[in-house]
Amino acid sequence: MDYKALGDKYLLHTYNRYPIVLERGEGTRLYDENGKEYLDFAAGIAVYALGYGNKAFNDRLKEQIDLIMHTSNLYYNEPACIAAKDVCEASKMDRVFFTNSGTEAIEGAIKTARKYAYLKDGMTDHNIIAMEHSFHGRSMGALSVTGNAHYREAFQPGIGNVKFADYNDLSSVEALIDEKTCAVIMETVQGEGGIYPAEDSFIKGVRKLCDERDILLILDEIQCGMGRTGYMFAWEKYGVRPDVVTMAKAIGNGVPVGAFAMTERVAEHSMVPGDHGTTYGGNPFACAAVSEVLRQYKENRLTEHVKELTPYLEAALDGLKEKHDIVADRRGAGFMQALELKEPCAPVISRAQENGLLVISAGADILRLVPPLIIDKEDIDIMKDRLDKALTES
């Protein structure tokens, strides 16, 4: 069957998909319907941290399917209670709400901030400071705090009362803060905006501004969290702690699940029964996945593995930068890396696919590499060789 033609006929055209029909995966490899093998340095957009075909993960999900997959949040269920404890311990937060996606986690974080401010003065005119070039999702609330005007323009007006500061420019944040500011939201490492880590002085400075004015700091770790930078959450490197943190992607290793977590202080002064809800969020199936992912992170020392291999990965990418004039810059953190090109990256991505390597973009001229966290040196060597060929042909 021609699945591409079938998809083109019936799927809503909101993606310009690559002409590949993926069929199965094993470890760090994916295979298309014709059996062609691809080394995957995209991981479903930073989702498949444990790789494909992880037996212990799959067995845990099969076990949960045979028990129960859904109960609603009108009742407790064992996997949700265990996963809540696991997530709070991993994130150093105190309370968590499970969602179905990262976008929904952002929605919950925004509502938390506005309710927190509302309880202080009874007003609903509070504003949120977000960052230019940020990306937080496609729903109306998440889109409203996404710092790309092109994404927002056809869907205006958004939720309103959102201001945009310049990432890594503390003075621009300070200039926007007023007595009605209830939150600052930002990615600890900007993803779609081009793979830009927060500068140490910037994130610490924002934390200080928020502390001085009782403003909530919301850190979006949907892509950069869950070990991708070598820390369970990227903010740990800076020695700061957010008031609210959002997560998704790798937390479910392919199962649709997200979460927003907060400190006890914020929880006590924001959401109450009736303020927020979800039918599927926190279901036993998804929460079983979360706990198994976190168990394997701990057992397999995945954050340490990322730290240990990051210099090797960065050296490989720096070598490509030195060899190819088309590469203008290499930047990133851990297994969240970018090569900035001097021309559009789409042709390079296509040639890499032809050579059996999957990489993705983060903007028109940014190659993004977000592989499964289980890659080894051999995978990095193969990636370098195949990407070298793709760049040579440009």
Whether 223 and 191 have beta carbons less than 8 Å apart is answered as yes
> Around Cβ 131, how many Cβ atoms within 10 Å?
28
Element (H, E) at 261: strand 258-262
* Fold classified for 3-53+301-392: Aspartate Aminotransferase, domain 1 (3.90.1150)
Chain-centroid distance of CA 280 in Å reads: 20
What is the model's pLDDT at position 233? Answer: 98
> Around Cβ 329, how many Cβ atoms within 10 Å?
13
219 HSE (CA, 13 A, CB side):
27
Whole-prediction pTM: 0.97
Phi and psi for 282 in degrees, rounded to 5? 80, 15
> Around Cβ 314, how many Cβ atoms within 10 Å?
17
In sequence order, the 6+-apart residues with CB closer than 8 A to the CB of 299 are none
Q: Where are the domains of the chain?
A: 3-53+301-392, 56-299
What is the model's pLDDT at position 393? Answer: 82
What is the model's pLDDT at position 20? Answer: 96
Chain-centroid distance of CA 139 in Å reads: 16
What is the model's pLDDT at position 64? Answer: 98
Mean pLDDT by 10 residues, the chain (394 residues): 95 95 98 97 98 98 98 97 98 98 98 98 97 97 96 94 98 98 98 96 98 98 98 98 98 98 98 97 98 98 98 98 97 98 97 98 96 98 98 85
Q: Is the CATH number 3.40.140.10 carried by domain 56-299?
A: no
Decide whether 3-53+301-392 matches 56-299 in CATH topology: no
